[in-house]
Amino acid sequence: MLIPGRLVSITIAKNDPDKEAYLCYIPDRDLFCLMPRKHAIKEYKVGQRTFASIMRIEKGAKVYVSQQIPQFVKTIIKMDMGNFLAENGLILRRAVLRPQLGKGKVLVKCVDKSKKEEVLRYDFLNKKFIEYKKDRYKKEYSLIAEFFEDIKIYLIPQQETLAESIKMAFKPGPVDIIEEVTYTKKGPWSDWKRQVTIKLKDSSKMKLLLGKYLWNLVTVKKMFDIESVTFIKENGEINVI
């Protein structure tokens, strides 16, 4: 049964540049569907196989799929690194993919006290993950592996406090230039957003902290439901992004 959020394997059946969506085929269901271009993570050619999640089903059995909705991102990440998470006592909290830049970040929480000291260390955790992927892809190369072939995933270990986790999520940027992170909540309880203030001790590296095309900042804001970030430089100058 097709329900919103379910992951399906699709084949690009038609790619008309003048159309706003790809015509796709779901082989397991012998069914055609549409994937709006704005919901595709990259450009596809006819015949390419990939994954997507059911976004909605309209009257007349018109099915739309997406590679951008949260259900897709979480499911595809779990399929790629589920074994690694289990082996290291980790659970997936949040995931943000930016395939156009070939990057993504995954926030993980350690639930195994015996492993906590190790996996809370960013460098150790990511080195271990790289080794795991190299070893895994030597043994098997699947459609999932192909999907992540051009995407570098950075694992962000959740820290003891939210402020520390937000700071950690700016990696691989130079987080040592961050002196303090504070935050407040804004909006009704059912739809509140965080407003974050970051005090810097070396603003000369601020561009590196934000990342190319602001990708570090964008992923952090999305990962922690942040509406705006106020940067306070050491000279008192304020930038709100």
Closest to 13 measured CA to CA, from 34, 37, 40: 34
Q: Following CA atoms 196, 199, 204, 210 in sequence, which dihedral angle do they give, to the nearest 10 degrees?
A: -20
Question: Please, what are the domains in the chain?
Answer: 7-67 (2.40.50.140), 69-158 (3.30.300), 160-241 (3.30.300.20)
Supply the Cα-derived Rg of the chain in whole angstroms. 20
Other Cβ atoms closer than 10 A to 30: 7
Residue 136: its pLDDT value, please?
73
DSSP 227: E
pTM: 0.86
Peptide bond into 188 cis (omega under 30): no
Number of Cβ within a 10 Å radius of residue 28: 9
Show pLDDT as tens, one digit a residue, over the chain (241 residues): 788 999 999 999 999 888 899 999 999 999 999 999 999 988 899 999 999 999 999 887 799 999 999 889 989 999 889 999 999 999 999 999 888 888 999 999 999 989 888 888 999 999 999 998 888 766 666 778 778 888 899 999 999 999 999 999 999 999 999 999 999 987 665 567 899 999 999 999 999 999 999 999 999 999 999 999 999 999 999 999 8
- pLDDT for position 221: 96
CA dist 200 → 113, 137, 195, 220 (Å): 32, 40, 16, 17
Axis crossing angle, helix 122-139 with helix 70-87, rounded to the nearest 10: 90
**One-letter identity of residue 182:** T
Q: Looking at residue 192, what DSSP letter applies? A: -
**C-alpha dihedral sign at 181, 186, 189, 190:** negative
Residues 6+ positions from 134 with CB-CB distance below 8 Å = none
**Side chain identity, residue 159:** Q
